[in-house]
Amino acid sequence: MARRGGRSAEVSLPAQPTAPGQARRFVTATLDGWRVAGGDDVVLLVSELATNALLHARTSMTVRVTEDGPDAVRLSVSDHSGELPRQRALSVDAATGRGLALLASIADAWGVETSAGGKTVWCRVLLDGSGSPSYGAFDVDAAEIL
């Protein structure tokens, strides 16, 4: 497979309930434009990152997607809050709180970069030879017991 050119695209979104949907549509359109097939899991992760920014930072955000070599995509969501993401202990019937476990399960790597103006939560998703994400299965039972 030929090495991709490291293309990158970004969009700024307001702190509104529509932001996660806009982030999903942006990443879908970007990956389609780059002809990266099977990006459903990449879109799922950007939805998680944007939703976390909306719920916890409550600030505008910048969503960025970048080709990371021939076999990966890097996603990032930057916001204006210094509060770092953290996993919480959950009850079995909790409706939220599994995003970081999902991120850790699907992404090849993820992390947080801080700055004076806030933070950036990023993840790297490996792609197989067809352009589809390559990862292990997400275990919902394990995600409930943190």
State the CATH number of the domain containing residue 78.
3.30.565.10
Query: Per the domain annotation, does 3 fall within a domain?
Result: no
Which pTM does this prediction carry?
Answer: 0.78
Beta bridge partners of 128: none
Between the CA of residue 31 and those of 76, 126, 146, what are the distances in Å? Answer: 15, 14, 33
SS3 75: strand
Q: What is the pLDDT of residue 133?
A: 47
pLDDT 10s digits, 24-46: 999 999 999 998 876 788 899 99
- Residue 29 falls within a domain, yes or no? yes
Query: Could you list the pLDDT tens digit for every one of the 146 residues in the chain?
Result: 344 558 999 999 999 999 999 999 999 999 999 988 767 888 999 999 999 999 888 999 999 999 988 778 999 999 999 887 666 655 555 455 567 788 888 899 999 999 888 999 999 998 764 444 444 444 444 444 33
pLDDT of residue 132: 44
Is residue 2 one of the residues assigned to a domain?
no
Eight-state DSSP code of residue 10: E
Predicted confidence at residue 127, as pLDDT, reads 75
pLDDT confidence of residue 87: 67
Domain count within the chain: 1
Structural domain harbouring 35:
8-144
- 75 burial (CB, 10 Å; 0-12 / 13-18 / 19+) is buried
- Tokens coding 129: 């030879």
pLDDT at position 63, please?
97
Residue 83 lies in a domain: yes
Position 59 scores a pLDDT of 93
- Classify residue 1: in a domain, yes or no: no
Structural domain includes residue 92? yes
Q: According to the model, what pLDDT value does residue 71 have?
A: 79
